[in-house]
Amino acid sequence: MTPQQASVETRNVCELAPVVPVLVVENAGIAAPLAAALISGGLPALEVTLRTKAAIDVIREMAAVEGGVVGAGTLLTSQDVEQAKEAGARFGVSPGATDRLIDACVANELPLLPGSATATEAMYLLERGYSMQKFFPAEANGGAPALKAIGAPIPQVTFCPTGGVSLKNIKDYLALSNTACVGGSWVAPKELVAAKDWDGITALAKEAAALPR
Ligand code: 3PG
C-alpha cells in the first residue's frame, strides 16, 4: 500500500465521526465492552495506543467487535507496525514519522496516519505521499490558530489534531477547512473505564458524535 493509498484509507477513517477516541487500556478483559460502548455511541474509529503491555491483546479483542475500525497508536518502530497488523489493526497512528516507520507501514500494508507538528514536517510527509496527517501535540503547538496558519500555504494536507483536544476547544478545530476529525482521550476517562461505566462512556461518545463538522 502506497502512502497515497494509505491517506485515502485514513481519510475515510477520519470521516467516520468527529472524534477518534485515543485509548490507553491496561486490561484486555475490558477491551470488548469498552469498544462496544464507544461504537454504540457513534464513534466507530478507535485508536489503541501501544503504551501498555496489554495493548496488542486489546487491539485483537477490539478488532473482533462488530461495527468498529480499530487502529494502533503510538507506533514508533517496525516491530510495533508488525505486531499491530498481526493483531488486526486496520490503521496506524504515530506521534511523528521516520523513514523506517513509513517503510514498515508500506511493507506491512498498514495505512499510516503520521504525525507532524510544523510546516516542514507537513511538507516532508506530503512529499512522501501523505495528504492526511495527525497534528500533534495540537494544543501545545498553538492549537487551532496554528493549524489554520499551516493550512494557508499547505491546503493539500488534511489533519486530525490530537493532544489536548477536549469539548472546550474541539469546535475551533472542527471549524477549520483542513481538519477532518480530532483525536482525544476524554471520551473514555480512566475513572469511567475503571468503574466499567459503559453507559457513561456511550453518553460521552454520543455527545462527541453529535458535534457539527
Ligand atoms: C495522547 O498523547 O495520548 C493523545 O494525543 C491524546 O491526547 P489527550 O489525552 O490530550 O486527548
The one-digit pLDDT tens for each residue of the chain (213 residues) are 899 999 999 999 999 999 999 999 999 999 999 999 999 999 999 999 999 999 999 999 999 999 999 999 999 999 999 999 999 999 999 999 999 999 999 999 999 999 999 999 999 999 999 999 999 999 999 999 999 999 999 999 999 999 999 999 999 999 999 999 999 999 999 999 999 999 999 999 999 999 998
Residue 168 is among the residues annotated as catalytic for this protein: no
pTM (2 decimals)?
0.97
Verify whether ligand 1 is closer than 6 Å to residue 184 (CB atom): yes
Ligand 1 atom nearest to CA at 138: 5
DSSP state letters, the chain = --HHHHHHHHHHHHTS-SEEEEE--S-GGGHHHHHHHHHHTT--EEEEES-STTHHHHHHHHHTSTT-EEEEE---SHHHHHHHHHHT-SEEE-SS--HHHHHHHHHTT--EE-EE-SHHHHHHHHHHT--EEEETTTTTTTHHHHHHHHHTT-TT-EEEEBSS--TTTHHHHHTSTTBS-EEESTTS-HHHHHTT-HHHHHHHHHHHHTS--
> Is the residue at 213 inside a domain?
no
Residue 134 is among the residues annotated as catalytic for this protein: yes
> Is the residue at 33 inside a domain?
yes
Q: Whose Cα sits closest to atom 7 in ligand 1?
A: 163
Verify whether ligand 1 is closer than 6 Å to residue 22 (CB atom): yes
- Catalytic: which of 61, 85, 134, 139? 134
Question: How many domains does the chain contain in total?
Answer: 1
Verify whether ligand 1 is closer than 6 Å to residue 163 (CB atom): yes
Q: What is the reported pLDDT for 1?
A: 87
- For residue 115, the cross-strand partners are 134
Q: What is the reported pLDDT for 142?
A: 98
Ligand 1 atom nearest to CA at 51: 3
Verify whether ligand 1 is closer than 6 Å to residue 143 (CB atom): no
> Is the residue at 44 inside a domain?
yes
> Is the residue at 178 inside a domain?
yes
Instruction: Supply the CATH number for residue 130's domain.
Output: 3.20.20.70
What is the rounded distance in angstroms from the CA atom of residue 22 to the CA atom of residue 186?
A: 8
Q: What is the reported pLDDT for 213?
A: 84
> Is the residue at 143 inside a domain?
yes
What's the per-residue H, E or C state across 53-90?
A: CCHHHHHHHHHCCCCCEEEEECCCCHHHHHHHHHHCCC
Verify whether ligand 1 is closer than 6 Å to residue 185 (CB atom): yes
> What range defines the domain where residue 95 resides?
3-208
Q: Whose Cα sits closest to atom 4 in ligand 1?
A: 163
Distance 47 CA to ligand 1 centre (A): 11
